[in-house]
Structure 1
Amino acid sequence: MSAPMEQPLPATDSWPAPAQLPPPPPVVGPTSPKTAAALIVPVLVGCLVAGALGVYGKLHEPTGIAVNVAGFSSPQTVKVWLATLAFLLALVQLFTALVMYGKLPVFRDASWLGGVHRWSGRAAFIVSIPVALHCLYALGFADYDTRVLVHSLLGCFFYGAFAMKMLVLAKKGVPNWALPVFGGLVFTGLSGLFVTSALWFFTTFGVKF
């Protein structure tokens, strides 16, 4: 006698529906020389941006003040709070990217996350501009201690990596891994800037406005 066929389980409303997440990125083979060559221009431009910022910051005579906002006690507090806001927006970028790539299946419908990801990135960049202006114009590229040197280097690195990411985003024929890698470099740079500026300020002088 043949074994009885298994009957499909009845569908019930109590069973959770699968999360409607974007499909994960396709698995690809080794990067071809052609696709790797597509990264040459973005990498060169990013290096030029980082280098130009470093040279300007080193040669420019610091003015001591550049950006101030009413309600804050000093330009330094404006800088650290704007840096904190940029870092929080970068965390939103990281979270939404992980969800969209299927690494955090926490939403049934993640179609709206694309807009959140794009606008949080734009907002983080806009918020970072006054901070960069203050650092370059008021303080310059400083190296009088390890923290300040690392902070200055990370500032140049962040904008160089951001330029690379934007060029990769708009360029066709780049490897599938390129955008996540450059996005990760941007997040790493901004995180390091937060740690060496805002977080250091809060842990050294307390939370001030």
Structure 2
Amino acid sequence: MTIPQPHPAAQPAEEPAGPAQPAGPAAAKQSAAPYLVPFLIGALVSIALGVYGRAHTPTGYAVGLAGFSGAQAMKSWLTTGTLLLVIVQIVSALVMYGKIPGVRGPSWIGGLHRWSGRAAFLLSVPIAFHCLYALGAQFDVPRVMIHSLLGTFFYGVFVAKMLSLPKKNLPGWVLPVLGGLAFTALVGLWLTSSFWFFTTFGITL
């Protein structure tokens, strides 16, 4: 007995093949691009600041704020204030993301996190301006050399972090790593400036 065959029109039409999806190394490069670009821009900022610090002729004076005995005292106290505000940022971030067991963040914790970061940046601007314009990047003394390198590194990481914040679907490690690097650089800046000043000249304005 002959089995009836379905009419050709009844056969399901083959779906047109879509555009080929990148696979293997190409897909990895494509997925890495969103967070590699901020890293690259941050690196360029660090290099640009370092080059300017070396090429610019130091003026010896850039900015002075009332209430301080000198530029070094101003830098030391502003750096200390910046470090304290960044610590507030870290603690508030841990609370927001539930990383501290038994602590539930209040509704205002997000605002505290954002505004402490903004205040920390504003405090750091006079420091950076004075260092770059009045002193430049100096490599003669080990402490000053480390301080200069950490300063350019800190702002490069800061730029990379700010550019990464609006991006979606970033790997979970990107922002914590950038924040940790910025905090580590700031601690190094405090040790090579504020701590040195306070232990050398005393805690004075």
Same fold (TM over 0.5): yes
Matched, 1:117 2:113: yes
- Aligned-pair RMSD on alpha carbons? 1.5
Provide structure 1 residue ranges, at least 5 long, that are not aligned to the other structure: 1-30
Matched, 1:143 2:151: no
Which structure: greater helix fraction?
A: 2
2:162 maps to what in 1? 166
Matched, 1:205 2:184: no
Matched, 1:41 2:71: no
Matched, 1:53 2:49: yes
2:84 maps to what in 1? 88
1:154 maps to what in 2? 150
**CA deviation profile, 1:19-75 (whole Å, cap 9, x unmatched):** xxxxxxxxxxxx954432211210110000000000000000001111112221111
Using the alignment, how far apart are the partners of 2:191 and 2:105 within structure 1? 34
2:178 maps to what in 1? 182
1:194 maps to what in 2? 190
2:14 maps to what in 1? none
Bigger mean CA deviation after superposition, 160-169 or 179-188: 179-188
Give the drift of 1:152: 0.2
Identical-pair percentage: 59
Bigger mean CA deviation after superposition, 74-83 or 47-56: 74-83
Q: Is the 8 A contact 1:202 1:208 kept in 2?
A: yes
**Structure 1 residues 172 and 109, CA, compared in 2 at 3 Å: closer, same or farther?**
closer
**1:130 aligned residue (121, 126, 132):** 126
Q: Is the 8 A contact 2:95 2:104 kept in 1?
A: no
Runs of 4+ in 1 over 4 A off after TM superposition: none
TM-score for both structures, normalised by structure 2: 0.83
- The one-letter code matched in structure 1 to 2:33 is A
1:104 maps to what in 2? 100
Q: Is the 8 A contact 1:67 1:130 kept in 2?
A: yes
Provide structure 2 residue ranges, at least 5 long, that are not aligned to the other structure: 1-26
Q: Is the 8 A contact 2:72 2:197 kept in 1?
A: no
Using the alignment, how far apart are the partners of 2:55 and 2:29 within structure 1? 39
**Structure 1 residues 70 and 43, CA, compared in 2 at 3 Å: closer, same or farther?**
same
Using the alignment, how far apart are the partners of 2:29 and 2:107 within structure 1? 34
**Structure 1 residues 175 and 33, CA, compared in 2 at 3 Å: closer, same or farther?**
farther
Bigger mean CA deviation after superposition, 56-65 or 164-173: 164-173
How many residue pairs are counted as aligned between the two chains? 179
**Structure 1 residues 32 and 114, CA, compared in 2 at 3 Å: closer, same or farther?**
farther
Q: Is the 8 A contact 2:82 2:124 kept in 1?
A: yes
Using the alignment, how far apart are the partners of 1:32 and 1:176 within structure 2? 16
Bigger mean CA deviation after superposition, 120-129 or 103-112: 103-112
